[in-house]
Structure 1
């Protein structure tokens, strides 16, 4: 190190000199620089690990979407399509999935499948809004699942005819479905489910 140049450069010196010296007023530059580098290294490692965790989580979700969509394609009936949708919950980090449809006359046959729940008229609009396609919620399990305890919910509107419907995932953990990538992947699966149901109920494309 060029000591004369360092001594003449007050700005550079201020970056290197710590805020306080030891009890004797002596500053150990080597120790200070090593500790500074150590702290920066730890911060970089923490950032790297956080980014790796996000990337790994995104990969798992994408794989789950692919598998779940393939299961929908393999479905040979409306009941099998609903079963594939409800069975997909663990792939998305959820504890349970359910297909909700607003109550109306003549739905007895459609709602006889496991995983299908009747909900009160107006519920879909209340959950996702009049024009919304999806919503990430922190409550509402009793309304959509018939029980409490779910701390994270992801609900997506399904356009499958005249009756408003939702595909809903519930998790007992907080903030399970937070993040744009997660919401986008789940929304994609909801759109695939929507098309599968329309196909099996012989409904026109929308």
Structure 2
């Protein structure tokens, strides 16, 4: 009355799918689509080209050409990834500088402006130290609050920057004349000359980072120059200095 059910099924074994792709299927598709690799060059690096035996002293140039193409595609992919990463970093830096400029414009007094420059800018720009200095004439600088602005020796800015308006330095030790007690944190820095007007002393805007290569020669300085111009105009406005 009962039929033999046969041996128990192996639930761990999966039957082979009837529509499994075979090597012949791939070959047939490539024959029907001879431009497949032209349309999909991204798969070339995964292919291993055959090396033909052409006899003694004869090289298979096609093999080397394919190998070279694979290397070029890999290099282009690396360059593309680097370009995307650089573009994202530049956009992030631009957004930070724009936010910093708005903070400077929102200052409600000169004291508030100095606090924004020496405290808030470091946070907004993801740095460790920000400093503002002016060269003194007789040890005292008119209109400047010594508690927020560092008084520098005459000629100090030219000694650092020479004829340049922006200087980037890597793998350095921060100067106490610029950063005070925060000098020990500084391992790379960006220094920007401030032109506060014909009747005002030379100024210096400084940003320091504990990362030795955060700033280094060769980096673009357009955003730093823009931020320095905002600082210059803000100081002139609050101190009623001629431009």
Structures share a fold, TM > 0.5? yes
How far apart are the structure 1 equivalents of 2:161 and 2:108? 30
Q: CA deviation at 1:75?
A: 0.5
Deviations 1:13-41 (A, max 9, x none): xxx998xx8xxx99888976665444333
Larger relative contact order (CA 8 Å, sep ≥ 6) = 1
**What is the deviation of 1:68?**
0.9
Over aligned residue pairs, what C-alpha RMSD do you find? 3.2
Q: Is the 8 A contact 1:101 1:119 kept in 2?
A: yes
- The within-5 A match list for 1:88-99 is 88-99=121-132
Number of positions where the alignment pairs a residue of Structure 1 with one of Structure 2: 184
- Post-superposition Cα deviations, 1:105-136, rounded to whole Å, max 9, x if no partner, equal 4438723444x22222211111122x432211
Q: Report the equivalent of 1:157.
A: 193
Q: TM-score, normalised by structure 1?
A: 0.74
Q: Does 1:53 align with 2:57?
A: no
Q: Residues of 1 paired with 2:220 and 2:105: CA distance?
A: 22
C-alpha distance in structure 1 between counterparts of 2:146 and 2:158, whole Å: 24
Corresponding residue for residue 156 of structure 2: 123
Describe the shift of the 1:40–1:151 C-alpha distance in structure 2 as closer, same or farther (beyond 3 A).
same
Q: Relative to 1, partners in 2 of residues 1:109 and 1:200: Cα closer, same or farther, differing over 3 Å? A: closer
| Structure 1 residues not aligned, in runs of 5+ | 1-15
Pick aligned residue for 1:80 from 93, 112, 115: 112
> Which has more radius of gyration?
2
Deviation track 1:61-97 (CA, whole Å, cap 9, x = no partner) reads 1111211111111111112212222322244443211
TM-score (norm 2): 0.63
Q: 1:109 to 1:30 in 2, by over 3 A?
A: same
Specify the alignment match of 2:239 in structure 1. Answer: 201
In the alignment, is residue 107 of structure 1 matched against residue 141 of structure 2?
A: yes
